[in-house]
Amino acid sequence: MNKSKQSGVVLVAALVMIIAVTGIAVSLMSSSTLDLKMVNAAQESETAEMTIKGDAELSLRSAMDLAANSPLIKGDGQFTDAGMSIKHQNADPKSTITLFNEQTGPEETPCPRRFAPTPGIVCNPLRIRASIKYGVGDKHEAVVQSGILQEIGSANQ
């Protein structure tokens, strides 16, 4: 074989190797891009969840600071079926905090024994639903549900 035919074979072999290496590089880059998107989505979800947990605590704290004017001391029948929306002035504008009174009947709810309640103290069960929209176009929603037992004085004593 002469040198000109050999250089053609070497050139073809080199092109095949370059195409193979380029294909591997493209597949690695696309998978790393997908990994980055998944990491960003997980971070957005975690941030949204932490934001609404904080907003729920801020809303509860600000409502409790109102003492006798607090909406948390309302009894059965004073909440609508949809709950009562409470907002804290520093809460994220995308978050919604709703308070539900779980006291379903006319009778007062005694506090569970594990709290060793004082005589004349009853519990008012409340449920808090905090939600926030996040992501591109706010197409995802994170929701955190929590509950508290509020100790209040009995109306019967």
pLDDT tens for residues 80-89?
A: 555 566 655 5
pLDDT at 90: 57
Find out whether 100 and 80 touch, Cβ atoms under 8 Å.
no
pLDDT tens for residues 19-45?
A: 999 988 888 777 777 788 888 888 998
Q: Where are the beta strands (DSSP E) in the chain?
A: 84-85, 95-101, 109-110, 121-134, 140-153
d(CA 93, CA 18): 53
Q: Among residues 69, 109, 103, which one has the least CA distance to residue 86? A: 69
Query: 16 or 63, which is more confident?
Result: 16
Residue 146: both structure tokens together? 């929590």
pLDDT at 5: 61
Query: 67 or 33, which is more confident?
Result: 33
Find out whether 110 and 123 touch, Cβ atoms under 8 Å.
yes
Domain boundaries, the chain: 3-153
pLDDT at 11: 84
Find out whether 124 and 152 touch, Cβ atoms under 8 Å.
yes
Please give the share of the chain, as a percent, with pLDDT higher than 70: 73
pLDDT at 19: 92
pLDDT at 77: 46
Query: 133 or 70, which is more confident?
Result: 133
Amino acid code (one letter) for 25: A
Find out whether 92 and 51 touch, Cβ atoms under 8 Å.
yes
Q: Among residues 64, 152, 144, which one has the least CA distance to residue 98? A: 144
Mean pLDDT of 84-110: 70
- Report angle CA 66, 125, 140 to the nearest 5 degrees: 85
